[in-house]
Amino acid sequence: MIYLDSAATTAVRRDVLEAMWPALTGQFGNPSSTHDLGAAAAKMLADARDTIAAIVGGRASEVIFTSGGTESDNLAIKGIALAAPRGRHIVASAIEHPAVAEACDYLERFHGFEISVVDVDGDGIVRVEDVAAAVRADTTLVSIMYANNEIGSVQPIAPIAAIAHAVGAVMHTDAVQAAGWLDLDVRTLGVDALSISGHKLGAPKGVGALWLRGSIPIEPLIHGGGQERGRRSGTENVAGAVGLATALAIGERIRVDATANTTALRDAFISRVLATVPGARLTGSPTLRLPVSASFTLGVTSGEAVVLELERRGIVCSSGSACAAGRDEPSTVLLALGLSPELAQTALRFTLDASITADQLDDVSTALRDAVATVASIA
């Protein structure tokens, strides 16, 4: 099998699992317990927090462990908005993940917030001037994702953060897809809050983190024993936290070399698909995109049918985001690019990983050409 759906999820890396093993076995204590087993767990949790803080360039006390990207986004959006001393206006892009978009909708419906949705250009990039036009004196929060999960487009976070700060708003970015591939340094990005998720980069499902600048007040979503400095109660997922920190640290170590290599392979793959698959068009930006992302529309052939046909040939990819799969509506991200609903139904998404080879990608492009021909012949 050639797995090209890392944007949906990844396998747990062996080295990550090995790092987690002690927290699941011999050192299984509750970090809040005062005995030695508890202290050992607390130490592992603290080390994981230190590792993540170092990678994002923040303080350990600013890392809040969560159950994943969805919770990190919800905590950021609702938690920051509800605790904000001023304003009831939020700015977000038209291509945010549902974890951000739906959290904004909730604030609008139940808490009287007003949401301004900023469009993207045809390449799926937020225009900085559109954010500048959308922010107001009462803007509480600006949330723009770092990299998109369907089309891989990478957003100009630093200038957008500067605009948010100029009106006194907090800047959040969903870095779930960016983690492992792009620089997560919050000082360079200029953000105040950043969401990450373990299972997109070789750690298990069910763990994530929100980095939140210490000076920013937050209303917790989960109340209870006061763990995570009262910002997220519940006995900590120590093994998950260790896994997340380990995966991030590995990602950070190999990121620069892996990026150069994967970007070259991605570009060769995209060129080959565009040259050999009739009707194929790239979605998203040719250059401002994640090194691992290759997404297309096929013109007339159903993306879903081609996904099934490719799977018969041992290749796993997706017709859109895993979160939207199974729904019949066309992707809001693709509609935001200006694509028609019919064209959006022909979308196909491949997400590479650092282990992919040129030969494998050649096989995939040939299989794609054949799969499209097969689906077209029976349509």
Give the binding range for ligand PLP (CB under 6 A) out of 46-54, 64-72, 109-117, 365-373: 64-72
Please state, in angstroms and rounded to a whole number, the distance separating the CA atoms of residues 77 and 195: 10
Q: Assess 143 for contact with ligand PLP (CB under 6 A).
A: no
Q: How many angstroms from the chain centroid is the CA of residue 303?
A: 22
CB hemisphere CA count around 178 (13 angstroms) = 25
CB of 227 to ligand PLP, least distance (A): 19
One of 6, 149, 346, 351 touching ligand PLP (CB under 6 A): 149
Residues forming the active site = 323
- 336 binds ligand PLP, rule: CB under 6 A: no
Structure tokens at 113: 């917030």
Q: Which stretch binds ligand PLP (CB under 6 A): 16-24, 68-76, 216-224, 340-348?
A: 68-76
**Could you give the 3-state DSSP secondary structure of residue 348?**
strand
Choose, by CB under 6 A, the member of 70, 74, 283, 351 that binds ligand PLP.
70
Nearer of residues 10 and 227 to ligand PLP, judged by Cβ: 10
Tell me how far, at minimum, the Cβ of 39 lies from ligand PLP, in Å. Answer: 29
Determine the Cα–Cα distance for residues 105 and 174; give it in Å rounded to an integer: 17
**Contact status: 351 vs ligand PLP (CB under 6 A):** no
What are the helix (H) ranges across 184-302? 186-189, 238-276
Interface of this chain with ligand PLP, residues 164 to 223, rule: CB under 6 A = 174, 176-177, 197, 199, 208
Among 49, 78, 89, 97, binds ligand PLP (CB under 6 A): 97
Q: Would you count residue 291 as binding ligand PLP (CB under 6 A)?
A: no
Q: Quick check: 322 and 69 in contact, CB under 8 A?
A: no
- Rg of the chain's alpha carbons, rounded to an integer? 21
User: Shortest gap between Cβ of 195 and ligand PLP (angstroms)?
Assistant: 7
- Those residues whose C-beta lies under 8 Å from the C-beta of residue 270, and which sit 6 or more positions away, are 282, 286, 294
Residue closer to ligand PLP by CB (options 208, 284) is: 208
Strands 89-93, 114-118: pairing kind: parallel
User: Residues 98 to 137: which contact ligand PLP by CB under 6 A?
Assistant: 99
320 forms part of the interface with ligand PLP (CB under 6 A): no
Provide the Cα torsion 147, 149, 152, 155; round to 10°. -20
CB-wise, 262 or 365, nearer to ligand PLP?
262
Query: What does the alpha-carbon distance between residue 162 and residue 171 come to, in Å, rounded to a whole number?
Result: 9
List binders of ligand PLP among 232-251 (CB under 6 A): none
What distance in Å separates the CA atoms of residue 41 and residue 25, rounded to the nearest whole number? Answer: 11
Q: How far is the CB of 197 from ligand PLP (least distance, A)?
A: 3
Interface with ligand PLP, residue 66, by CB under 6 A: no
CB of 29 to ligand PLP, least distance (A): 26
Residues in the chain: 379
Nearer to ligand PLP, 56 or 277 (CB): 56
Helix (H, G, I), strand (E, B) or coil at 289: strand
Cβ proximity of 9 and 323 under 8 Å: no
Judged by CB under 6 A, how many residues of this single chain contact ligand PLP? 16
Tell me the residue number closest to ligand PLP, measured at CB: 69
Residue 190 backbone phi and psi in degrees, to 5: 75, 15
Structure tokens, 378: 């029976």
Smaller CB separation from ligand PLP, 75 or 265: 75
Query: Strand pairing partners for 3?
Result: 316
We find the least distance from the C-beta atom of residue 323 to ligand PLP, in angstroms, to be: 6
Residue closest to 238 by CA, chosen among 25, 13, 62: 25
* Least CB distance to ligand PLP at residue 303 (A): 18
Residues 232, 138: Cα–Cα separation, whole Å:
27
Contacts with ligand PLP by CB under 6 A lie at 68-70, 73, 97, 99, 145, 149, 174, 176-177, 197, 199, 208, 322-323
